[in-house]
Amino acid sequence: MAIKLPQGQAAEEKIEHQITIAVQKDGQITLNKMPVTAEGLKSALPGLLHGHDNVVIAADKDARHGDVVKAMLQARAAGVNAFSIAVDNE
């Protein structure tokens, strides 16, 4: 399922070891393209962080705010300290 990112202008970041949490408009979540529940993020993320605490949130422009927040809160509980938001550069 493709994500339609919101439009915006953002500087492109070069992240060596990128971890991406994608939130579909229907609420489904993937972690680096692997399906996971919001609660599953808390257990799956620590093994991926390896000292990197920045995670990219790629939320569909039509995703519910509550679904995105829930995913971010679970990621924070797993040790994520910083988030970047993916946008479709205009």
Q: What is the pLDDT of residues 33-45, one digit of tens each?
A: 999 999 999 999 9
Low-confidence ranges of the chain (pLDDT < 50): none
What domain count does the chain have? Answer: 1
Domain that holds residue 63: 16-89
- Asked whether residue 3 is assigned to any structural domain, the reply reads no
- Asked whether residue 21 is assigned to any structural domain, the reply reads yes
- Asked whether residue 9 is assigned to any structural domain, the reply reads no
pLDDT of residue 13: 58
Which amino acid does the sequence have at 47?
A: G
pLDDT of residue 6: 66
Triad 7, 12, 60: Cα angle to 5°? 35
pLDDT of residue 3: 73
d(CA 70, CA 14): 26
Which amino acid does the sequence have at 60?
A: D
Report the CATH number that the domain containing residue 63 is assigned in CATH.
3.30.420.270
pLDDT of residue 51: 77
- Asked whether residue 5 is assigned to any structural domain, the reply reads no
What is the residue whose two structure tokens read 């910083």?
82
